[in-house]
Structures are given as C-alpha cells and as structure tokens.
Amino acid sequence: MIHYQLSVQYPTSQFLEVSISFQVSAPGKISLKLPIWRAGRYQEANYARFIRGFAVKDFSEEEVPFMKVSKAIWQFEASKGGEYSVKYQFFAGQMDAGSSWIDDEQVYLNLVNCCMEVSGVAPTECQVQTRFPYPVKVTTLDSINSNQFSASSFQQLADSTILATKQIMHSKFEVNSVKFHCWFKGDIYFNKYEFLESLQKVAEKLINDFGVFPEKEYHFIFQLLPYTHYHGVEHRRGTVITYGPAESLKNPKNYHELMGISSHELYHAWNVCRIRPKALLPYDFSVENYTDSGWILEGITSYMGDLYLLKSGFWSLSEFLDKLQRTVQRVSEDFGWRHQSILESSFDTWIDGYQKSIPDRRQNIYSNGALIALALDIHLLNDGLSLSEFMQIAWKRFGSKMRGYQEYSFWREVEKVSRKFDFMGFYSRYISGKESIIEHLKEILPILGIKLEEGFQNDYLRNNLGVLLEGESVKKIHPDSFAYQVLMLGDEIKNVSPKGELEVHRVNGNSYSYKIKESSTQFFPEYKFQIEQETPQREKWMQ
Ligand SMILES: [Zn+2]
C-alpha cells in the first residue's frame, strides 16, 4: 500500500503539501516519477515546475540523499528494507479542467498533476488521506470515510479528481441504475432543471445506443468561473468542465456551448476512457505516448458529441448544421491537409497539437477529425449502418474488456461492415492521404438530403486577393494567391485604393504600395448548408 497524505495549511499560498510513504522490501534504487502529461492532452505539461522542497526520509526519520535522473524523476538508494517517506510541496495555481487550483473557496486537485508514482516497489493499492480547510465534497476515488480515499492502482489515482469546498450545488439523475452526479461550483445563470433534463436525455440516448454505461457512477464537475474559460477533460468516472464567464450562460449561444462540451466529455466515457488505442493502454505518464489515432479519439468524439445533441432532441437539424458550418468554415481556411495526413497530425499533437502551428503545417484532430467522422458516418449510413452503431461494435470489440486497438485493427472492423463503401479508397485519400475532406463532403452530403454550398460576398481582399485580416493585420494568406508571393503575416493593410492598390506597413518598419494581381479563381468561400428533401439515411442518422 502506498499512502499519499495531501494537506493544505494556508489556502491563499496555493501550496499543497504532499507526503508519500511506502514499504521497501529490499535494498535498491527507488524512483519517484511525476507525470509529464495527463490524459486528454497529448502533450508535455511539465508539472515538475510546480514542485519545490523535495526530500526523502527513512524509517528512523533520517534524511536520505537523492538525485534527479530526469526533469520529472527523483531517485534515491534504499540501503535496507523498511518504510520510507517522500515530501514535497506542489503549487496549485492553474485553473482549468485538467489542472489544480487552491484558494479561499476550494481545494481542487487533479491528482495526475501532483502525485508521484513510486517505482521500484511492487505495484499496489494507493490510499489518500486529506487534511484540507474545507470538506471533500466530490471525488472520483473510492471513499473510505470523509477524509480517506483509495485507488486500486496509480492509474486510477492519476485519473481522479478531488474537490474540497465550503459550498457546491449538487444534483443527480439516474439512467438504467447508473447514478449521474452534477456538481456546480460557481454561480448558475441558466435554468438548472432544463439543463439536467437535456443532459439526461443525451445520457439516455448514448446508453441506449452503446447498450451499457462503462461505470456505475459518473460525476460531472462544473467549475463556473467569473472569467472567460472553455475547457473539459475526460476521466473514467467523470469529467471536469470549466466554463466562464458564468454569467454568459444566460445567452443561448453559451448555454449551447456548455451542453456541447458536456456531451463531448460524456462520449469520452466510452471513446478514449475505454475504447482506446493500445499505445495509450495503460497511459505511461513518464514519456510521450505516440499514437496515430488522435482523430479517432478527438475527431469522432467531437462529431458524436454534437450528433447526440441532435439525436437527443436538444438541437434541431438546423442548429446542428449551424455548429457544423462553423467547423467547415474553420477547416476551409487552413491548408494543413495539403502537408500532413490526419494520421501524421495525430502523432504530432506532442509538438503543436494544442497551439497555433506554423502556417498550414498540420490538420486539427478535433475539427478535421470531426469532418472525417461525418464523412465516414455518411458512407456507413449508405450501407445501412451508422457510425453510432459502428462505435457499439468498437465498444464490444475493443472497449468493454479494455483490449485496445491498433489503428489498422479499428479500420479492419470498418472493412467488415462495409458493402458499397470503398473504405480503402476513403482511407488512402482522407486518412493516410492528403485530400480535402470538404470537397468530399460536398459530394456525399446529398445522401442525407443536405447540400453544402459555397458563396462569395464580394470581399475584395478575401475573395479576390486571398487575404484574411484580423483588425487591419494579415492573419492568413491563401497559398495559391499572388498575395502569398509578396505579403507577410502580420502586415498591416493601411488602405485599399479604389483601383485595388494596397498600402502596407510591415513589422520591420518598411512600407509598401502593392497592386496585387487577381487570380482567375476566387478564394475563401463562405460555406452554408441547405436542407433539402429528407432521405431514409437522414432519418436513420437522426434517430
Ligand atoms: Zn475530447
């Protein structure tokens, strides 16, 4: 058994005191490994920068010398068997859905940030004891009593959240004997009952389609913040969702966003938490875990999260298409697909998957992945199946027993259910290849009785020159335009004369006047959906 004692003396200092004690059976090297990343964000997080005052003591309270062997691994030599303890302080000063935060209101911890794994001792159960100024109100650990908790392994510990607070709003609903808890920290500016009812309908629809919920209990932990925020992180037994400003949830647009993240995170309870690539099974938090299935993890989940708002009746078809339109528009203004397949972009999240990349370097596993998932769904529907039904097959094959999948074994299952669908052609063009998924969607959306149309608004810079602005500075230049040959990102367009002459000020201090040649084609269309005659495939899709 490994004991973690977590205590907070001065909440406003934001420091968490961590003490880890464990039995060593024989002399040898013991390593303490702090995770370098967390589930749901496939990129290094560098939590070690939040640690100070690391020390080791042996059974007679003597200090034991230690050394760092890498940025997040501390090591010491146990001279003989007995109980050893490690102490350090962790700064909990980052509020988001995957980090930790302590203040005069709450102690909110995602244990993957702040708990080290002990290696060099036999894998064993973990016990957590808390000494906080506020009572623990929510945790996804197993509870022993009000301040003692347990996890069967470090994997479970690292997948757990603790929230201790003076005050929190709690509601629950039940679907097929699964208890769903909803915890709201912060002010609620929306109709809570309507929200819970809508969320319950999404959960019912999902459980109906998958046939089962993977856990007995599930916690939605909402941090409704006074400042702008938008984040969600999945865990097996729950999700944390940070959203702000809380007051903006008065507006339908923001309220729908909150429902969108909630549905997305709930879908992860199956896809990612259980249906997971072998490369992430189990998560190895001490190194990068490379997988080329990022589009399955996040693309399918982004698409399905929204689709279940439609299927559960929360969204009308036109509301669903409004959201999809924004995704199509965003994807259409980036040309990463010309340079990298979605498989390569999945692998590369560790480099720049969550930051703005250099121009047109990569695809976005969320939005490009969602459009690929939609296209896959349409092809499956055309064969009498659907992606929802296919994911139930994936659940049975890879998820229910957590066997994991290889990218090719996932695809082999698609092959098994395909009849008319040219799955190999699709795979080589849009998954391992570099073709535009939007062009393909234009061809196949009529199967659902939906048309994707392009329009131009006579915007000279955008449509004729291929230049997108943010304020007056250039934020994007179409790679096929003549503007690409002379303009720089960040150039300020001071004036456009009636003859089409551009007055440009550059960051290096130079100023230019350009008459840029217009191309024969128009750039950056605006996309819109047209709902046409219903088809049997659409009917099945929306069920
Ligand atoms: Zn996600």
Report, in angstroms and rounded to the nearest whole number, the Rg of the chain calculated over CA atoms.
Answer: 26
Q: Match 């943010």 to its residue by tokens.
A: 470
Local confidence band at 413 (pLDDT 50, 70, 90 cut-offs) = very high
Residue 86 CA, ligand 1 centroid: distance in Å: 34
Residue 396 CA, ligand 1 centroid: distance in Å: 21
CA 472, CA 507: separation in Å to the nearest integer?
A: 13
Predicted confidence at residue 320, as pLDDT, reads 98
Residue 500 CA, ligand 1 centroid: distance in Å: 44
CA 62, CA 538: separation in Å to the nearest integer?
A: 71
Q: Where in the chain is the domain with CATH 2.60.40.3650?
A: 2-165
Range 343-370 average pLDDT: 97
| pLDDT digit string, tens, across residues 307-339 | 999 999 999 999 999 999 999 999 999 999 999
Residue 448 CA, ligand 1 centroid: distance in Å: 26
Residue 28 CA, ligand 1 centroid: distance in Å: 41
Residue 365 CA, ligand 1 centroid: distance in Å: 10
Residue 234 CA, ligand 1 centroid: distance in Å: 7
**Type of residue numbered 528:** K
Q: Where in the chain is the domain with CATH 1.10.390.10?
A: 168-269, 277-448+535-543
The domain made up of 168-269 has a fold known as Neutral Protease; domain 2 (1.10.390)
Task: Answer whether residue 528 shows pLDDT above 90.
Answer: yes
Residue 216 CA, ligand 1 centroid: distance in Å: 21
Predicted confidence at residue 416, as pLDDT, reads 95
Predicted confidence at residue 387, as pLDDT, reads 98
Residue 268 CA, ligand 1 centroid: distance in Å: 7
CB under 8 A, 24+ apart: contacts of 328-333: 328/371, 328/438, 328/441, 328/452, 328/527, 329/526, 329/527, 330/364, 330/367, 331/364, 331/367, 331/368, 331/371, 331/437, 331/438, 332/438, 332/524, 332/525, 332/527, 333/468, 333/476, 333/524
Local confidence band at 349 (pLDDT 50, 70, 90 cut-offs) = very high
Alpha-carbon dihedral angle through residues 133, 134, 138, 143, given to the nearest 10 degrees: 60
Predicted confidence at residue 499, as pLDDT, reads 84
Predicted confidence at residue 124, as pLDDT, reads 87
Residue 495 CA, ligand 1 centroid: distance in Å: 42
CA 157, CA 149: separation in Å to the nearest integer?
A: 10
Residue 67 CA, ligand 1 centroid: distance in Å: 37
Residue 24 CA, ligand 1 centroid: distance in Å: 39
| pLDDT digit string, tens, across residues 489-506 | 999 999 998 888 999 999
Angle, vertex CA 125, rays to CA 119 and CA 126, nearest 5: 80
Whole-complex ipTM:
1.00
HSE-CB at 302 with a 13 A cutoff on CA atoms is 21
What is the pLDDT of the chain when averaged over all its residues? 97
Residue 78 CA, ligand 1 centroid: distance in Å: 41
Contact 466, 332 (CB under 8 A): no
| pLDDT digit string, tens, across residues 249-307 | 999 999 999 999 999 999 999 999 999 999 999 999 999 999 999 999 999 999 999 99
CA 333, CA 137: separation in Å to the nearest integer?
A: 45
CATH architecture group of domain 277-448+535-543 = Orthogonal Bundle (1.10)
Task: Answer whether residue 79 shows pLDDT above 90.
Answer: yes
Residue 232 CA, ligand 1 centroid: distance in Å: 7
Contact 11, 103 (CB under 8 A): yes
| pLDDT digit string, tens, across residues 213-236 | 999 999 999 999 999 999 999 999
Predicted confidence at residue 179, as pLDDT, reads 98
Which CATH number is associated with domain 2-165? 2.60.40.3650
Task: Answer whether residue 529 shows pLDDT above 80.
Answer: yes
Angle, vertex CA 126, rays to CA 401 and CA 70, nearest 5: 95
Residue 243 CA, ligand 1 centroid: distance in Å: 15
